[in-house]
Structure 1
């Protein structure tokens, strides 16, 4: 199987959304996707063959991952279906330690013979690599879990929903956007199901069934007379849920601040209404006044702030990036160990509490166990503004003088070795009752920013610039109308120390990315970032339309 095929999609926006969408595996029918293929008992039998083969060849540790990865992508534009993709990737990855060194091999020959051969190859690779290993691998202890399972708590399996229903929904959303003034309307629906079985020589046999869904429209208006255009992406979020996310409920709609006309979404998404709103808001932004550069208070809603959290907190606190292992892929980190060791480094103001959490319900990163059999958990990265921890795996935590893995090891497929990946990283909400409208009233000169936009950040995850989707001027405690050509500039420490107010948990929502890239060879992972609307004072705002 050629796993490195890529489908190029236009119009998915900035940042991670601009990445090619990886299509793993081969085309299959929907009937095949719904066939379970293999029982848990069979997976355990095959896994034990791999574990025993590895130990017989000299491995002191081994884990086997039998993975089945299903993807469905529905891609539409205006009144046409541009593409429909159903894929399956099925195989086994085996990781071992021999002579104190990691080895890894994989195969799509999911038989006794194929698995035994892959295990032997993994051990041979580890022994060959041990010639260059300066220090032996040190694994934090993990107690075997025995036979356990975990499933995303979905209410409706999206793969069982007829394709015709999904196409009808996307085309209806396109049609309604065009009726309300859009020049172009595109809608995409991405579904992922990871069926993962993990077994280790420590006595864990873990079966997991993980589901994710992402509906993302892109609505554009073109003013041909003036030679201008404006696009507005969807305000929904990719979620760790089933198709119930696409069945809107009134309770999940959140009205934006007075004067914006914005509707935001939590646990279900009204795609059609969002596309109608997108057409109207793109039109308003097209004729909005251009902002004036200067220092502003920024009121950032969760769908926007999630990307800033991702880039300025999630990535710089990955321990392998801190240690310099990721230097060739988007840089290292300013948050070096010497800063953490002081126990006094002010990452942000005292209001700032940033947590890593692999258990957050509905999030993209929620699983019961990570890809090396560690039960997932929640822990602080920044507490009361102070840097207190990083993200680390079993073979990393000893570098922090810790003896318990953080449970954030992941591989995008059976054919790739697992390594440290970002868990859900979120900003805890404020403890006092405080709404977005309360926050707006407290701002004398500011900008309310909704949704994700283009961004740039340096190789140490320090100096950055972020845009957004919608911008509204705040003057003397009121929204005065939309503005455009907005981006803000800061550095990570200065920005988080400018945080002065956070709304309470009634405003808490998550942003997410299906395609967070890292590693060489590169892998993608899915991750969410939760927050409530948050205020940052005295931030430098530029006009992106002005020539330098």
Structure 2
């Protein structure tokens, strides 16, 4: 078996798995009309919070917080001309976290009575006291002022749950038809909608009510050439967003063209699923007969929808302080970017690389007003002109690196799970100088333009890696010449970011995102976006994935 057939077959096997999963979906199957019910009012939630906080303090807690969370999920799945499934799920409960005897304790319940909440708070304190028998050092929280009664809401224009299911299913089926009409042999599509109604209260004096919305339209197209038996596929170039249904109302201003000759269209703050499905079918047909890449060193021009995954794996994860400290070693690995490594001031990338973490970016998946331990969110710099200057950290980590404040990046996927350090939106700053995609390409003598994220592999320290994509175009003497296939690049994190030669300007800036970034034991899922403009990297090693194995 050659490598291309192997990766194609495993790609098909994974076809049933490429759709995002929702570990927090455990809850009640409900009628879709119940998705629009208002739930508990703020006064009721505040009263319940005080029950928990008072019970925890009475049981011996020196600190306590409570999250009252209602999560609503609707998922619609289709294939060709059929709707394959629709799910509407509600999950409602409380999670209570405490410090007693200098140690964390956590317990949760869906018993929303005063007695049930008080009993859960007492249980959390009992767990903390039991844990304290093996605790070596007491938990030290960075100071956090209470905000009183505050609220935050995703600034949506149209609640996706208010749109009739038939209208949404018809849109997915129309996208399937657009793909099959243009040569697709198989196509499946899906639409995921999430609403997290979170109420946080703590003994610091915060009572925070948040209403968070996310949406993700996506599809997968496969073309089979019956004569040769060859088949290829392409996934959608959409990105999940922190928006309402307005994301699926295409706006011409939000369409971002790839370099001239590439037939690639990216999307900014709205998404044209019909156009993308049409292009996907046409491009997938081309993949079957297009030229296979010749391995070697190439300058790469990376589209934001592709670069987001590389940012996620090579910057987002290795700058999470819990990974740096070894807390994730058993499950997800550690980080090459250790505290000692940072002290040596080793360059992370070229001077063109400034990367920020940000929980405030409008329309991003990670946008919230406050995190899950009541910290107001912000933007902060991780890499400044190639130098690693900071990590992502929460309240009980800040003191470890000599800081006195959390970055506001603590999150839990549901009321039943304890909150812990999660990745913020981690994004590459675009060029301050006006620069188009064609201008970026014009300086490339021998290169490849890559759009869409594909298969990838990266080691446990987030250092050595390999990334594929969805579509590839050859660049020769500053011009796009033809489509390529079987492309992946191999690099290490320092070499890759050291090869960064610059980006396009803010007008090309877009998000890539992930609905289900997994971490922790038991594993939890979070949603995160990564922003960038189209960016150039020089002299990157490209391999041919069709070469025979053995």
On whether the aligned pair clears a TM of 0.5, the verdict is: yes
Q: Which string of whole-angstrom CA distances, capped at 9 and with x for unpartnered residues, describes residues 4-49 of structure 1? A: xxxxx98876998676766331201112121112110000000000
**TM-score normalised to the size of structure 1?**
0.97
Write the mapping of 1:23-34 to structure 2, written as runs, cut at 5 A. 23-34=25-36
The alignment partner of 1:144 has SS state of coil
User: 1:67 & 1:181 partners in 2: Cα distance?
Assistant: 45
Partner of 2:240: 238
Partner of 2:426: 425
User: 1:11 & 1:239 partners in 2: Cα distance?
Assistant: 27
Q: Which string of whole-angstrom CA distances, capped at 9 and with x for unpartnered residues, describes residues 207-243 of structure 1? A: 0000000001111101122121111111110000000
Shift of 1:257: 0.9
Unaligned regions of 5+ residues in structure 2, if any? 1-10
Partner of 1:6: none
- Contact 2:25–2:90 (8 Å) recurs in 1: no
Partner of 2:255: 253
Partner of 1:209: 211
Q: Which string of whole-angstrom CA distances, capped at 9 and with x for unpartnered residues, describes residues 116-139 of structure 1? A: 000000000000000000000000
Write the mapping of 1:341-380 to structure 2, written as runs, cut at 5 A. 341-342=343-344, 344-380=345-381
Shift of 1:455: 0.2
- Contact 2:200–2:373 (8 Å) recurs in 1: yes
Shift of 1:538: 0.5
The alignment partner of 1:362 has SS state of coil
Task: Please tell me whether residue 227 in structure 1 is matched to residue 245 in structure 2.
Answer: no
User: 1:122 & 1:10 partners in 2: Cα distance?
Assistant: 45
The alignment partner of 2:431 has SS state of coil
The alignment partner of 1:171 has SS state of helix
User: 1:92 & 1:310 partners in 2: Cα distance?
Assistant: 31
Task: Please tell me whether residue 297 in structure 1 is matched to residue 275 in structure 2.
Answer: no
- Structure 1 residue ranges, 4+ long, deviating more than 2 angstroms after superposition: 9-24
Write the mapping of 1:448-487 to structure 2, written as runs, cut at 5 A. 448-487=449-488
Partner of 2:7: none
User: 1:21 & 1:140 partners in 2: Cα distance?
Assistant: 30
Task: Please tell me whether residue 164 in structure 1 is matched to residue 161 in structure 2.
Answer: no
Shift of 1:501: 1.6
- Contact 2:23–2:525 (8 Å) recurs in 1: no
The alignment partner of 2:527 has SS state of strand
Partner of 1:436: 437
Partner of 1:532: 533
Residue correspondences, number = 539
User: 1:322 & 1:116 partners in 2: Cα distance?
Assistant: 36
Partner of 2:338: 336
User: 2:56 & 2:495 partners in 1: Cα distance?
Assistant: 50
- Contact 1:467–1:487 (8 Å) recurs in 2: yes
Return the match for 1:277 from 279, 297, 304: 279
Bigger Cα displacement from structure 2, 206-215 vs 32-41: 32-41
Q: Which string of whole-angstrom CA distances, capped at 9 and with x for unpartnered residues, describes residues 317-375 of structure 1? A: 11110111101222111000012223x22000011001100001000000000000000
Partner of 2:88: 86
User: 1:62 & 1:398 partners in 2: Cα distance?
Assistant: 19
- Contact 2:23–2:524 (8 Å) recurs in 1: no
- Contact 1:16–1:517 (8 Å) recurs in 2: no
- Contact 1:14–1:454 (8 Å) recurs in 2: no
1:238–1:83 distance in 2 versus 1, CA, 3 Å: same
